[in-house]
Every structure is written in C-alpha cells, then in structure tokens.
C-alpha cells in the first residue's frame, strides 16, 4: 500500500491528516467473557484506534481460557425440585448440566 519504508512519525502524521487517532492503553490483563468460558490475555498490549468517532481495540498477548462456573439460585433449584418431584441435589445437578435452563432441567428430570 505504501511504497518503501515509512518511519513511525510520518505514519502518525498521515493518520492524523486522515482523522485517525491512536492511543496505547496501559493494560496488564484483558478478560473476555463468553457463555461458558472466559478468555484471559495476560500480559496484554492494547491499542485503541479512533476513526470517525468509532473506536477499535487491538489486543495482543498470551491467551489462556478458564471455565466459568455458573451460579444457580436457590429459588431455581427449589422450583426444579418441586416441578420434577426430585431432591434439591438432583435438581441442582440437572440445572448445572443444562447451564441454568430451568425448563430443560425439568424436562430432563421428568424423562428419567
């Protein structure tokens, strides 16, 4: 795209002329939570680019993943236990297996 080598100062000047701003963010760790797992990037190098008011983040670093233990409320456990006619421990296990889906847990227990 650019012929030859461009030094960083020239690149910054060109980006400024085009209305692009960049900012290094002093992050030590970045955590991305998805359903069922957590992606941890540590140590992290984060850069924010602002183009026409829209921010784009670039994250670099070493990635690891962690499982997310889903918290299940006592109310949900009691409801599943009552509806399926089982003990609370069995209801809690079914809720964990269905990732907290109450209806699916009840149906699963009624089939068994």
For the CA atoms of 59, 62, 67, 70, the dihedral, rounded to the nearest 10 degrees, stands at -30
Query: What integer pLDDT is reported at residue 100 of this predicted model?
Result: 87
Band of residue 20 on the pLDDT scale cut at 50, 70, 90: very high
3-state class percentages of the chain: helix first, strand second, coil last, to nearest 5? 35, 35, 30
Q: What is the pLDDT of residues 64-79, one digit of tens each?
A: 998 877 788 999 999 9
Q: How confident is the model at residue 1 (pLDDT cuts 50, 70, 90)?
A: low
- 3-state SS assignment for residue 95: helix
Domains and CATH numbers, the chain: 9-67 (2.20.70.30), 74-111 (1.10.8)
pLDDT digits (tens, 9 = 90+) for 28-67: 999 998 877 899 999 999 999 999 889 999 999 999 998 8
Query: Whole-model pTM above 0.95?
Result: no
Q: Can you tell me the distance from the alpha carbon of 50 to that of 54, in angstroms, rounded to the nearest whole number?
A: 5
């Amino acid at each position: 795209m650019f012929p030859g080598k461009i030094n960083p100062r020239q690149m910054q000047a060109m980006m400024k002329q085009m209305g692009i701003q960049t900012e290094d963010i002093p992050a030590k760790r970045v955590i991305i939570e998805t359903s069922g797992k957590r992606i941890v990037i540590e140590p992290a190098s984060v850069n924010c680019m602002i183009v026409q008011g829209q921010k784009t983040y670039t994250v670099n670093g070493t990635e690891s993943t962690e499982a997310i233990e889903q918290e299940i409320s006592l109310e949900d456990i009691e409801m599943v236990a009552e509806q399926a006619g089982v003990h609370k421990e069995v209801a809690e296990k079914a809720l964990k297996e269905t990732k907290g889906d109450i209806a699916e847990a009840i149906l699963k227990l009624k089939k068994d």
